[in-house]
Amino acid sequence: MDMDEDMARLQEEQQGRARAAWVPGAVIVGAGPSGLAAAACLAARGVPATVLEMSDSLASTWRHRTYDRLTLHLPKRFCELPLLPFPRGYPAYPSKDQFVSYLESYAAAAGVAPRFGCRVEEAAFDVGAGAWAVRVRLAGGSGELLLARWLVVATGENAVPRVPDLPGAPRFAGRVLHTCDYKSGEEFAGKKVLVVGCGNSGMEVSLDLCRHGATPSLVVRNTVHVLPREMLGLSTFGIAMALLKLLPVQVVDRILLAAARLALGDTGKLGLRRPKTGPIELKNLTGRTPVLDVGTLGHIKTGKIKVVGTVKEVTQRGVRFADGKEEQFDAIIQATGYRSNVPSWLKDGGDVFTREGMPKIPFPDGWKGKNGLYTVGFSQRGLLGASADALNIARDIHSQWKDMMSRPGNNIVLQCNNNAV
């Protein structure tokens, strides 16, 4: 009976492979900045790519999961994707709407047309076909099986909201939400709001709440590096990048921290203790990004934003902190970041990804795996890192594509046209 079941399963797999659609070039999963950059760089080299996106638009996270006041944290010159600069009229720190507009123009200029409403349920390397088998669920409920020689994972580090358990949260009478659902502090005017998380999002949401007449309290559980976004009119990040070309990272960190203390004062006195490891070295080791202050610190100093400690549990009307104190709140916003969704659908990426869906190999060498697997936007280096990945991927795939297309009797394109589902 077991043998019969195995034979039936094998027959089903063979029939499924026969019905599969061969895709010329690469399949790219994700139509955010990373996926668009990879597709554009491939297109510039004449390599076709099929971009699959589960939402109904490109840059879905930027459109729908970000707050209204969001701007790029770094100057635009560090956030441009390969082959196309930002429009000249854009400010130094473009808004989210300007960035989305740039991405739309970028895709149009490169001729990249993602397939929207395509949710990748599974991608695994098919040894028999010598290709990646990508099982897709379409918006209408039907399915497809695509086969491609190369698979580019571009779903990013921030695919799924990270929502840690807050003990007692179900009993809370107010609203609990993640920053992916937060748009503006306007709806919280006059209310006391607890913001859990002190990264860039938590800091900016607290500032936005304050500017809209809310009373925010910011939960700071761990140490954090806070740096001014600019020093003497120059980008702090730009200064750091320039110094790193001349000096060791530890020396650059000491310079940045000395300048930050002059500009911001002792943040430890405000409840924002600094890690022992410097900001750039810590970023390189753990991926933890320093906070670039855009005004939040000033409101903390004046008491308009209150810094509080770890939450022990949520009560019906507020929270009880680890030190035993209780305080009432009208809403709780979790600024606790995002995580990768790669483990939920990629089945043969163990040489590249950890079980958490993060890169095993540090930047700049984590973009390539085995059997034609590539990854873009997982370097924990932001848009600058994604651009570097995209250029490397396009260069590598193009060399293989050129070799394959030069072989006599090559029929990759014919396979694609004659084996549609």
Check if 11-159+340-416 and 162-337 are the same fold: yes
CB 335, CB 199: distance < 8 Å = yes
The domain defined by 162-337 folds into: FAD/NAD(P)-binding domain (3.50.50)
Q: What is the pLDDT of residue 232?
A: 87
Token pair 């918006």: residue: 139
pLDDT in tens, 277-310: 999 999 988 888 999 999 999 999 999 999 999 9
Q: What is the pLDDT of residue 2?
A: 54
CB 241, CB 280: distance < 8 Å = no
Residue 199 pLDDT greater than 60, yes or no: yes
| Sequence-ordered strand ranges (E) for 15-142 | 21-22, 26-29, 49-53, 115-116, 118-126, 131-138
**Class of the CATH domain delimited by 11-159+340-416:** alpha beta
Q: What tokens appear for 335 in the block? A: 């600024």
Summarize the confidence of residues 186-209 as an average pLDDT: 97
| C-alpha–C-alpha distance, residues 38 and 164, integer Å | 32
Domain boundaries, the chain: 11-159+340-416, 162-337
Residue 98 pLDDT greater than 60, yes or no: yes
Summarize the confidence of residues 119-136 as an average pLDDT: 96
Q: Going by C-beta distance under 8 Å and a sequence separation of 6 or more, which residues neighbour residue 143? A: 121, 135, 136, 137
Q: What is the pLDDT of residue 193?
A: 98
When comparing pLDDT for 65 and 362, which is higher?
65
pLDDT in tens, 316-345: 999 999 999 999 999 999 999 999 999 999
Summarize the confidence of residues 37-64 as an average pLDDT: 96
Confidence of residue 11 (pLDDT cuts 50, 70, 90): very low
